[in-house]
Amino acid sequence: MFSYIVRRIAVAIPTLLILVVISFILMFAAPGGPFTSERPLPPDLLANINAKYGLDKPYWYQIIHYIWNVVAHFDFGASFKYKDQTVADIIKQGFPVTLTYGFWSFVVAVLVGVSLGVVAAIRQNTWLDYLAVGISVGAQALPNFVLAPMLVLVFTLWLGWLPGGGWNGGQWPYLIMPVIALSTSYMASIARITRSSMLEVLNAGFIRTAKAKGLPMRRIIWRHAMKPTMLPVLSYLGPAFVGMITGSVVVDVYFSTGGIGLFFVNSAFNRDYSTMMGITILVGALTILFSLVVDVLYAWIDPKIRY
Amino acid sequence: MFIKPTMMASAAALLLALGPTFAVAESSHVAAGDVLAPADQQTFVSRELDEFPSIDPNLIQDVSGNDVARQLFEGLMNQDDKGNLVPGVATGFDVSADKMTYTFHLRDDAKWSDGSPVTAKDFVYSWQRAADPATASEYAWYMSLMGIANVDDVIDGKQPPSALAVAAPDDHTFVVTLSQPLPYFPQMVVNAVTFPVPQKAIEQYGADWTKPGNMISNGAYMLTERVPQEKLVMERNPNYWDNANTVINKVTYLIINDENQALTRYLAGELDKTEIPTGQYPRLKEEYPTQAQSFPLLCTYYYNFNLSDSGPEALKDVRVREALSLAVNRDVIVNNILQGGQKPAYTFTHWATAGFEAPDLPIMDMTQDERNAKAQELMKEAGYGTGGKPLSLEILYNTSDAHKALAVAIGQMWKQTLGIDTSLKNEEWKTFLDDRGKQNYEIARGGWCGDYNEPSTFLDLMTSTSGYNDAKYENPKVDALMKDARLADNPEADYTQVEQIIAQDVPVFPVYAYASVKMLNDKIHNWPVDNVQQNYYVKDIYKVQ
Amino acid sequence: MVFPDKATADGLIEAAALSEAKGRSLWSDAVGRFRQNKAAVFALYVLIAITLFAFLGQFLAAYSNEEIDWSRLGNIAQTGAPSFSNGHYFGLDDLGRDLYARTVQGTRISILVGLVGSLIAVVVGTLYGAIAGYAGHRTDNVMMRIVDILMSIPFMFVLILLLVMFGRSIGMLFVGIGLISWLDMARIARGQTLTIKNKEFVEAAVATGVRPFTIILRHIVPNLLGIVVVYATLLIPGLIITESFISFLGLGVQEPSTSLGALISKGASQMQYGVIWQLLFPLFFFLATLFAFFFVGDGLRDALDPKDR
């Protein structure tokens, strides 16, 4: 296992390099650049600006130069759009925000989702099952851009219980609505995958044997059924966790949390090459890391798995 | 969708009429009879659409950045609540007989937030920095628009920044020499790019000088907190020369991307000022008559016809273009879609622009039925539409609810009145700019905001050399008139004539004249409602009980 | 594509039939089991009803989806509410257009998007994941790192480039949706394959010399179907919403055409402005479609589950 992990980490580096190169090619090929604006800049001025940001160099040079700066100096450059910030500033400020609300959303989604799913599966085709399924289908289908303004309307405007947005260092009143808005659909998905997976496991031979032996249900669930149930849930949780901690544009837009989700989307719209590359590398690294974590967990759950 | 139109600088060219030396008595801010709210309530919280691209005055190019910079910094001149010039760091200025040299007299009690004096050298440093290619300010073109001698050579790197024709003969005198007379030059120094910047902090911290703690500023407020995409907070600068007359203690800008969210939060009492979403003004005006506000704003919304070779054949026929313009019912657009106090536009220049006299155009006096009838007649003559060759046109716009609404409505008006088909094409902002700039369209929306309050800021777009002439309209008469206007003592007639030519040739058709539509806390007094550029100074406003 | 729901059902059943290749009796077994599941049968009727609404509903509309009711424009909150007497059954949208006609047309687009996207996810994602998981070793590593890369690249640029290179069309919308929809599915399928391939029946097949691809199709894929079907129904709402983002960029549906995603997002932005019907009608069809898909999917899963036999 250990040598497998080492190998996977070794593969991560060329993977990230390929990601950087592909992203650069896509970026350069897209119409418009960081300094394309409603009022086209005079050519001389544009030349000055391109020179300052190194955009006057050939594409291959820009890519290699960028990679060199990142590898050798850990320097992600200055943002092309938000000129008072470097990309490192933006990530340092925004990532802890998304990490915080993403982490809590993950905790809530997993706790509530798995419980709902397990209860629904054990009580299949009872009103409890229907209720759990109804809640999860409804929750999953309610788009978060509908849920988010509804929350603000109810808790801020009508009840006056919670602030309508902002972050303020992540104090809990500012955290509640983002976590609800972000976790709801994940929670629902987790509940449904858990339910269906649990149903399959409960039908499997070894559980039937355990039931036949007269083991108490609670014990069967916890000791025997839970681990195999979690396998497909884990495949879902890997990317879901990365999705949550790298933030959500909807949360950032509706609650003004200042996370990197909004920076990422804006950087693409603004053709803010440096910011976009910085966040792409962060997201890529996390994606690769958590697919490794998931694989390690697979092997723990099912020791028969060999890679 | 996150891009704000660039607009800035200011006002009426009639100032010079006051005579060469110009000074105005300071206004006492608080009106008689107003009872101020307690000090802890003297806060101003404003909504901003997006994170400020920069708050370094030399780099600022957007309205929000200017709004922030006007509180943190103070330039040579300020504007009052009508948009007239009032003293800032300068108490006044003299103009030379050839109208090419401006001498500003700086007050001796102006101080930076660290207590050191603001001198003419700070302005020299700032203006040179703004034009310096090494700064690579996207707004350097504004310096060139001001016509300072040698500015273009400096921007091009042909001469060093020190060659810029600005000088500080002593600490309290700042002299600018222009390459040609520019009647509205004084209006231009209210833009942030001309504000002084602290050489000391910039040399010490480099690009980080704008961070709280590093920033030294000379305005009524100092930066105390900034969290990108969340908020920017400033508090009073005790070293500001007029600190005694400042009332508001704390200014907060909250970044709220979604305008509907912002309105909800305004109604929940979290904000003092926010924009009103399209179409919601009448309802809010009824419900909150003292808070819903609409003021004219110097921008024009218009549609471009692609007149270049890549444009459709039908649009090369002026009758078709005129018919399309006539068939657009601007009253419906303004009264039933936008509903925010905008006005129908028949001239490219905004009606409220200082020194603009609109020509008497036939289209203005007709009823919509008459316009439609004439449009049908013109279309028939040209041989298109109902009973003629089928015509199908494509409207290009950047994705946004407001642009979509107009494109849909205009497409339906053309269909119903003229029997032509329109298809709509929306694109993401930068793709849109790329396509429009390369004439890769048939009909495309446009919006233009005045850089200063004078008609040439609009009409320059119609000259064949303008980089923003997306219609690729070329008319030597327009070029000649605009050239003449620059040197004329009284350019109004030229502007009127240019508008007349545009109305005949229809390379573009104006749709409506903008208004600034917002909710403003009614406890705030002294808001500059009559300033058509909506340049506000928080030091001048105050909250009553 | 008049009954797209039937098309998916057929697709899934075909996949199952192909993999099991045991003929007619299995198929009728599955139908029988499906019929016993009342929720699933009811959901199937709902789905058929929504499909009929989406594809035939325009014949009941009094207006087209683009005509503007000029007399009510500008006063929608007061005069644009749903009404049978003026023919605007669902009221007017913010531009004075008939919301009924727009919901019919939007539902049509969105059902197609959901179905095509989830079909691509099911077919491509399952096969890709099963192959990666079954092959293991270097093949697995390469295939899954490709998925990691595709998950992390700025997808927006891919869409913009599609727009620039091929122009806009409904076909390109499906390409865009398809490109993104299969990635998660591939990871889930691969994860499940890792455990399935150690099961006795697979080992037995290997021992008897069955070709790897046959093993994947006959033994791995059928055992994946349960989770695949559930996940496919989970994907649908996301895909329908993704469509409105793709259209935002200019690649997909263009005005005056619309989609449920666009209608809901517009309705949500107006929710506090007294025109709540603009949110409720599209949202109702969105939710009803998703509920129906879920229960049909659940019924199919039970009916097709090889372990139950």
Measure Cα distances from A90 to A80, A168, B206 in Å.
12, 16, 17
CB contact under 8 A, C294 and A232: no
**Is there a domain that residue B103 lies in?**
yes
Lowest-confidence range among A146-150, A152-156, B381-385?
B381-385
- Where do runs of H (alpha helix) occur along C167-276? 170-196, 200-207, 212-215, 221-249, 260-269
Cα separation, C250 vs C160, whole angstroms: 8
* Counts for chain C of helices (H) and strands (E), in that order: 14, 0
Beta bridge partners of A203: none
Do B256 and A257 meet the contact criterion of CB atoms below 8 Å apart?
no
CB contact under 8 A, A269 and B155: no
Give C250→chain B minimum CA distance, Å.
5
CB contact under 8 A, C157 and A23: yes
CB contact under 8 A, A157 and B157: no
Measure Cα distances from C230 to A134, A193, C189, C191, C234 in Å.
15, 7, 12, 15, 6
CA torsion angle A299 A301 A305 A307 (round to 10): -20
CB contact under 8 A, B260 and C164: no
Q: Average per-residue pLDDT in chain A?
A: 88
Cα separation, B454 vs B451, whole angstroms: 8
- Domains identified in chain B, total number: 2
- Best residue in C128, C140, C148 for a mutation probing chain A (most A CBs within 10 Å): C148
> What's the Rg (C-alpha) of chain C?
22
Do A149 and C269 meet the contact criterion of CB atoms below 8 Å apart?
yes
CB of C104 within 8 Å of a chain B CB? The answer is no
**β-bridge pairing B250-255 and B43-48:** parallel
Residue type, B541: I
> What's the Rg (C-alpha) of chain B?
24
List of residues 6+ apart from B263 with CB closer than 8 A: B274, B276, B277, B280, B519
Measure Cα distances from C206 to A120, A259, A278, C130, C273 in Å.
37, 50, 46, 16, 65
Predicted local distance difference test score (pLDDT) of residue C25? 59
CB of C308 within 8 Å of a chain A CB? The answer is yes
Q: Is 80 exceeded by the pLDDT of residue B10? A: no
Inter-axis angle of helices B401-418 and B368-382, nearest 10: 70
Residue type, B75: G
Return the DSSP state at B37.
Answer: P
CB contact under 8 A, A298 and C291: no
Nearest to B537 by CA among B190, B67, B186, B216: B67
* Band of pLDDT at residue B174, cut at 50, 70 and 90: very high
**Is there a domain that residue B320 lies in?**
yes
CB of C234 within 8 Å of a chain A CB? The answer is yes
Cα separation, A147 vs A105, whole angstroms: 15
| CB-count exposure of residue A302 (10 Å: 0-12, 13-18, 19+) | middle
Residue of higher predicted confidence among A12 and A222: A12
**Is there a domain that residue B3 lies in?**
no
Do A272 and A81 meet the contact criterion of CB atoms below 8 Å apart?
yes
**Is there a domain that residue B4 lies in?**
no
Do A253 and A150 meet the contact criterion of CB atoms below 8 Å apart?
no
Give A167→chain C minimum CA distance, Å.
22
Give B336→chain C minimum CA distance, Å.
4
Give A163→chain C minimum CA distance, Å.
18
Residue type, C122: V
Which C residues 6-25 touch A at CB under 8 Å?
Answer: none
* Band of pLDDT at residue B217, cut at 50, 70 and 90: very high
Predicted local distance difference test score (pLDDT) of residue B199? 94
CB contact under 8 A, C254 and B431: no
Question: Which two tokens mark B298?
Answer: 């110097």
Predicted local distance difference test score (pLDDT) of residue A299? 85
Cα separation, B413 vs B385, whole angstroms: 13
Q: Is 50 exceeded by the pLDDT of residue C10? A: no
Predicted local distance difference test score (pLDDT) of residue C308? 47
CB contact under 8 A, A15 and C307: no
Nearest to B507 by CA among B476, B462, B466: B462
Q: Average per-residue pLDDT in chain B?
A: 88
Predicted local distance difference test score (pLDDT) of residue A181? 92
Question: Which two tokens mark C115?
Answer: 């179905």
Do C233 and C114 meet the contact criterion of CB atoms below 8 Å apart?
no
CB contact under 8 A, A239 and C187: yes
Return the DSSP state at B347.
Answer: S
Q: Does one domain contain both B410 and B503?
A: yes
A93: nearest CB among B2, B207, B228: B228
Q: Does one domain contain both B254 and B388?
A: no
User: Is residue B390 reached through a cis peptide bond, with omega within 30 degrees of 0 on the bond before it?
Assistant: no
Average pLDDT over residues C258-280: 89
**β-bridge pairing B421-427 and B392-398:** parallel
% of chain A surpassing 70 pLDDT: 100
| CB-count exposure of residue A44 (10 Å: 0-12, 13-18, 19+) | middle
Q: Dihedral of CA C10/C14/C17/C19: which sign?
A: negative
Helix or strand or coil: residue B172?
A: coil
CB contact under 8 A, B227 and A167: yes
Q: Does one domain contain both B479 and B539?
A: no
Return the DSSP state at C213.
Answer: H
pTM: 0.87
Q: Is 80 exceeded by the pLDDT of residue B19? A: no
Q: Does one domain contain both B321 and B233?
A: no
The CATH number of residue B405's host domain is 3.10.105.10
Q: Is 90 exceeded by the pLDDT of residue B537? A: yes
Give C265→chain A minimum CA distance, Å.
7
Cα separation, B61 vs B52, whole angstroms: 10
Q: Does one domain contain both B90 and B115?
A: yes
CB of C206 within 8 Å of a chain A CB? The answer is no
Return the DSSP state at B10.
Answer: -
* Band of pLDDT at residue C273, cut at 50, 70 and 90: confident
Do C273 and C253 meet the contact criterion of CB atoms below 8 Å apart?
no
Q: Does one domain contain both B311 and B239?
A: no
The CATH number of residue B73's host domain is 3.90.76.10
User: How many alpha carbons lie under 13 Å from residue B359 in its C-beta half-sphere?
Assistant: 18
Residue of higher predicted confidence among B507 and A208: B507
Predicted local distance difference test score (pLDDT) of residue B343? 94
Lowest-confidence range among A281-290, B20-29, B462-471, C142-151?
B20-29
Predicted local distance difference test score (pLDDT) of residue B24? 33
* Band of pLDDT at residue C26, cut at 50, 70 and 90: low
Q: Does one domain contain both B482 and B529?
A: no
Lowest-confidence range among A24-38, B23-37, B458-472, C247-261?
B23-37
Tokens 């006609």 found at: C101
Inter-axis angle of helices C170-196 and C221-249, nearest 10: 150
List of residues 6+ apart from C144 with CB closer than 8 A: A291, C132, C187, C190
Nearest to C76 by CA among C91, C55, C88: C91
**Is there a domain that residue B233 lies in?**
yes
Do C219 and C133 meet the contact criterion of CB atoms below 8 Å apart?
no
Predicted local distance difference test score (pLDDT) of residue B3? 30
Domain coverage including residue B184 = 9-258+521-543
Question: Which two tokens mark C237?
Answer: 């709402």
Give A288→chain B minimum CA distance, Å.
28
Which secondary-structure segment (H or E) carries B86? strand B85-87
Average pLDDT over residues B350-354: 89
Helix or strand or coil: residue A250?
A: helix
Inter-axis angle of helices C99-120 and C170-196, nearest 10: 40
Which C residues 110-129 touch A at CB under 8 Å?
Answer: none
A41: nearest CB among B138, B152, B256: B138
Beta bridge partners of B90: B106
CB of C144 within 8 Å of a chain A CB? The answer is yes
Q: Does one domain contain both B426 and B373?
A: yes
Measure Cα distances from B35 to B273, B523, B528, B544, C283 in Å.
21, 10, 19, 5, 50
Q: Does one domain contain both B461 and B352?
A: yes
Predicted local distance difference test score (pLDDT) of residue B15? 35
Q: Is 90 exceeded by the pLDDT of residue B407? A: yes
Residue of higher predicted confidence among C164 and B480: B480
* Band of pLDDT at residue B161, cut at 50, 70 and 90: very high
- In three-state form (DSSP H/G/I as H, E/B as E, the rest C), the secondary structure along B497-531 is HHHHHHHHHCCEEEEEEEEEEEEECCCEECCCCCC
CB atoms within 10 A of CB B58: 25
**Is this complex scored with an ipTM above 0.95?**
no
Predicted local distance difference test score (pLDDT) of residue C303? 78
List pLDDT tens digits, range A175-234.
Answer: 999 999 999 989 999 998 899 888 888 877 777 787 788 778 778 888 788 888 888 888
Lowest-confidence range among A228-232, B57-61, B244-248, B484-488?
B484-488
CB contact under 8 A, C73 and B337: yes
| B409 contacts in chain C (CB < 8 Å) | 68, 73, 95
Q: Does one domain contain both B242 and B309?
A: no
Tokens 């369209």 found at: B441
Do B378 and B318 meet the contact criterion of CB atoms below 8 Å apart?
no
Average pLDDT over residues B44-54: 92
Q: Does one domain contain both B253 and B338?
A: no
Question: Which two tokens mark B197?
Answer: 């910047």
| B412 contacts in chain C (CB < 8 Å) | 66-68
CB contact under 8 A, A141 and C287: yes
Predicted local distance difference test score (pLDDT) of residue A144? 86
Average pLDDT over residues B302-318: 92
Give C283→chain A minimum CA distance, Å.
8
Q: Does one domain contain both B490 and B535?
A: no
Nearest to C152 by CA among B415, A23, A230: A23
Cα separation, B136 vs B207, whole angstroms: 13
* Band of pLDDT at residue B315, cut at 50, 70 and 90: very high
Question: Which two tokens mark B205?
Answer: 């911290």
**Is there a domain that residue B27 lies in?**
yes
Predicted local distance difference test score (pLDDT) of residue A238? 85
Q: Is 90 exceeded by the pLDDT of residue B184? A: no
Cα separation, A166 vs B235, whole angstroms: 19
**Is there a domain that residue B468 lies in?**
yes
List pLDDT tens digits, range C152-185.
Answer: 888 888 888 888 888 878 888 888 888 888 998 9
Question: Which two tokens mark C218?
Answer: 């006959």
Give C201→chain A minimum CA distance, Å.
14
Helix or strand or coil: residue C163?
A: helix
Return the DSSP state at C94.
Answer: T
CB contact under 8 A, A235 and C290: no
**Is there a domain that residue B86 lies in?**
yes
Do C134 and C193 meet the contact criterion of CB atoms below 8 Å apart?
yes
Cα separation, B337 vs B303, whole angstroms: 17
Q: Which chain B residue's Cα is nearest to C73?
A: B336
